Structure 1
Amino acid sequence: MRDSKKVKMFLYFLFCLIVALEYVVLGAATNDRQPSCKICKCNGTTVDCEGVKLDNVPKDFPPNITELSLARCGLVELKDNELGMLYKHLRRLDIRHNKIAALKNVTFAGLNELQYIDMGGNKYRADEVDPFVFSLLPNITEIIVRGYGDTRNHDIDRHVPRAWFDTFKGLENSTIERITFDAISESPVILKKEDFVYLNKSPVKYLSLYNIRLVDIDFEFLGNLIHLEEVDLSMNNLQMNIKYLNAITQLFKLKKLRNISLNDNSQNWNEKNERELLPKFIAEFPLPVPQSMEEINFARSILVRGPKRYLSYGFKIQRENAIRKVDVSGFKLMQRLGPVHGAVHVKELYAEDIGCEMYPSTFSCEYGALESIEIMNIAHNFINMTQNNVKQLGCSPTVADSNT
């Protein structure tokens, strides 16, 4: 009986010893396999190597990681399939500010779960960015590219921004929702309708082409982005004869559009003749603003040079809209503005210093005009006080005074 107990105790002790040894051995092996976690920050399924000098992508992180930052690591290349073979469960990838020049169609192969990639600030060469670099990312929802790429590309016909637009070929019928191409060009860029034809069946909700030196825009490109909710075309340098009615028509076809930013643009196009931007017969009919529209920002954009342009008859928009904020401060477009009607939900209006002749009825708070206004700044403009309805200016205690 005693011998039986001794045997059981011995077996139990042996089992515990084996478990302990296995824990020590496997633990040591695990640490040996992950020395990179000593120089990078490993926290669960997240690895942050930002600012760590690396010659190659480390191969010894846990294979189940879902977030990886390799920003500012001095990497000069991404080998074919490497990320997908090592870390196939990645959902977020940051490779900003390295020295990567080439992106092939298999660079991101195997990253079937990747949803987000931030890849700006590298030395991409226009002739080495494959049009189908994103084609093997079946779950990608957001792509961010910021930076000019290799500035030595100026002698290459297909400049870096054109190469990025070509990558839309690999996003046909994709899951992409957000595209940010900011400051990707030092050379003039012409935006064409056909640039976005490959996205017409993708659910793109957000598009930023901020500061990419846009000089010409075919606004019909918006027809390929019917799911668009936000568009940012700020900080560009338009040199085109803008067909305003066509531009408005294309914008207002976007039934889900919430925010539009066209601020800080400078136009160098000079027209020869004075003209009305909206003829009277058009100004009398409400413009079909998307019912989802919430905010409009055209601040500090200069879209008029040379002869004067007018909106003498004002304009109307459909009452069924959600516009809450309009910022056109410093916006140079017209020298005369008539009554504005239909912006019945606008609470904030900034229209100071637009260099425009206005009337007491221009920004009236009467029913059907700006009846919900809380903040209105129309300072530093020219108010024509010949009309009798002067009291319409005093529609809110928060309205800023204007120069007369």
Structure 2
Amino acid sequence: MYLADSRTAPDAAPGRHTAPGRRAAVPGAVLALGTVSLITDVSSEMVTAVLPLYLVTGLGLSPLGFGLLDGVYNGVSALVRLVGGRLSDRGGGRHKTVAAVGYGLSAACKPLLLVAHSVPLVGAVLAADRTGKGLRTAPRDAMISLACGPAGRGRAFGVHRAMDTAGALLGPLLAFAILRAAADGYDAVFVASGCIAALGVLVLLLFVPRQQSAPPRPPRVHTRTPVRELLRRPGVRRLTGGAVLLGLTTVSDSFLYLTLQRRLEISESWFPLLPLGTAATFLLLAVPLGAVADRFGRRRLFLCGHLALLGAYGLLAAPLGSSPALACLVLVLHGTFYAATDGVLAAATADSVPAHVRGSGLAVVQTGQAAARFVCSIGFGAAWTAWGDRTALGAAAAGLFVSAAVSALLLRPSPTDATPEPAR
């Protein structure tokens, strides 16, 4: 895999040039961070693959109760992403240190699920796990954006997300194998997940450089950059608004898989395989769609990805029977949505945020998106309880259509959105 032309590659030594037209290799920092994410995602997706059934069938939660816990699982990170971004930007850039704390906290939470057999305890463990995710996400994305030039950011994030998704592909497979082989399947999944997460932390500490690019802080810039100062930047404000609007109608993966499981009457032991369709599509499309984003426009592709999600909602809400082909098409659309939005949004945000506050800027947009999805999880759980899954999905599809139309206006390219890169 290759990234941008050597003229934009930040790790090229002064005085050294690559032949015209030849692309520079992916920066080692991006590959190292991709390896960490791959290992960590194996661990996380093992738990995520079995968690919905563990909570709904094992603990007997209603859809509303599951929506509350799922909101905690996906929304608590929104409360700490700003903290992680701010801490990583202070002191000349401490991205690796903050990311290591976040990865370590999440790894420590996996074995705690062994002793959490009540809803409050499970909620507390999930909140701590998501706190770790919130701390690490912005510093990690800041390291990726600082490791490459602006012209290749979409591809760089695509490479990272592809490696991350390879872990998401392996995690459910491993969980499936453990559930079928072990007597106490859920406990065995949680133990194995904790061990794998610890390995990811070790790889981060040993192989990820402490600072890929430490840009000097411009003169007359305060050490602290408040959120309101970042939101005064038109590019950050528009991206945050669009991410929030679209996040309010983005149903969580767990609800989507539960809907498929009920529609097709899939057994519990086969349920962990459903995320594989999403992960496989994401893996195949992350790098090419990242390259498309660099040429076509990152904001445009971000919106197009939500149209793919809208198609998945429509197929699930429509009375089309229970054909396996329906499940395959829904999962392909779901994976396309992630490939066109996940790393693409981070790359678009990096274009609008100066390097010395890159972590904070990424955290602002990611926090808005995560908080909106937290609200959506609770609202969708309540709608499912009151009206049923099909009606709830129809309402989500209608809301997503309106949100996409408004976001298309918010995310129109503007010359004031871009932030010039400092000379490297």
User: Same fold per TM (> 0.5)?
Assistant: no
Q: Which has the larger radius of gyration?
A: 1
Which structure is higher in helix share? 2
TM-score (norm 1): 0.18
TM-score (norm 2): 0.18
Relative contact order higher in (CA < 8 Å, ≥ 6 apart): 2
